[in-house]
Amino acid sequence: MATLHLVYEMWNSMIENVKEVIYHHERKTEVEYSSFFEVVKLILIDRWTKISTLLHCLTHSLNPRYYSHEWLSEDSHRVAPHLDKELTQERKKCFIRYFDDADVRRQVNIEFANFSDGREYFADVDSLRDRGQMDAKSWWIVHGVHAPTLQKIALKLLGQPCSSSCCERNWSTYSFIHSLKRNKMTPKRTEDLVFVHSNLRLLSRNSSHYKEDETKLWDIARDDFG
C-alpha cells in the first residue's frame, strides 16, 4: 500500500496523541509535568531520528492535502509544509542531492513555489478545491502537468510503500527455493520459480479454502495485500 506520504504526519502527531492518553490516565492537566511521558517522548523521538529520511519530508511536502483548508483547519497548530522550518530544510537537502544542475534545481524550486502557494496554473478553482478531496497521486496526475519535473518526482514518491515487508517476503521465498540442497540452479530458473510460487499464493486467495481459513498465515500479505 502506498503510504510513504503519510509517515511524517503520523509520527508528527503521535507524540501529542500519546501525551493525551498518558495525561488522561494520570489525570493531569496539559500544563502539568509527567515524568513517565517525558521518558516515552524521548524514546519516540530517538526512534524517529533513526528511521526518518529526507524522502519522508519531501513526500510529505508533495502531498496537496497538507496545503488544503480542510486539513489546516482541523488543528490551529498546523502549518503548510512550505511554512515548516524542519520540512523546508530537509526538502532543500533532498533537492540538492537529486538535482546536481543549479539551473534545473532553480526550475524545480519555482515549480514547488507555484504548487505550494497555489500560484500560476495551480491557482484555478478545481486545483485548489481538489487538494483536500482527491488522493495525492490522482491530484498530481490531473493538475501537475504544468510542473513536469516535480510531477515526475511526486508520482514516484506518492506510489511508494513505507515498508520493505513485501521485499522481505520475496527474499524469504527465494531462500526457500534456493537452499543448501538446491544450490546449483541458475539465477534465471530461481527467479522464475519465485515468480510462480508467489503468484500461485496470490491466486489461492480466490479459493474456498482461503476464505474458510481464519489465520491465512500462508498468504503473502493476508487481506492487507492489494
Angle between helix 54-61 and helix 148-157 axes, rounded to 10 deg:
120
d(CA 173, CA 10): 31
User: Mean pLDDT, to the nearest integer, of 78-98?
Assistant: 90
Give residue-wise pLDDT tens across range 9-28: 777 778 888 988 999 999 88
Give residue-wise pLDDT tens across range 115-167: 999 998 899 999 999 998 998 899 999 999 999 999 999 988 887 765 555 66
Backbone phi, then psi, for 161, in 5-degree steps?
Answer: -75, 160
pLDDT of 108 over the 90 cut: yes
Grid cell listed for 141: 496526475
Distance of CA 143 to the CA centre of its chain: 20
DSSP state of 164: -
pLDDT at res. 218: 46
**CB 127, CB 121: distance < 8 Å:** yes
Task: Please state the pTM of the whole predicted model.
Answer: 0.63
pLDDT at res. 225: 40
Map residue 2 onto helix, strand or coil: strand
pLDDT of 30 over the 60 cut: yes
Going from N- to C-terminal start, the domains of the chain cover: 4-157, 165-224
What confidence category does residue 201 fall into, taking pLDDT thresholds of 50, 70 and 90? confident
What confidence category does residue 220 fall into, taking pLDDT thresholds of 50, 70 and 90? very low
Q: For the chain, what percent of residues have pLDDT higher than 70?
A: 83
Helix then strand then coil, % of the chain, to nearest 5: 70, 0, 30
Which helix (H) or strand (E) element contains residue 154?
Answer: helix 148-157
Map residue 161 onto helix, strand or coil: strand
Spatial neighbors of 198 by CB under 8 A, at least 6 apart, are 170, 173, 220
pLDDT at res. 149: 93
Using alpha carbons, select from 76, 86, 83 the residue that is nearest to residue 56: 86
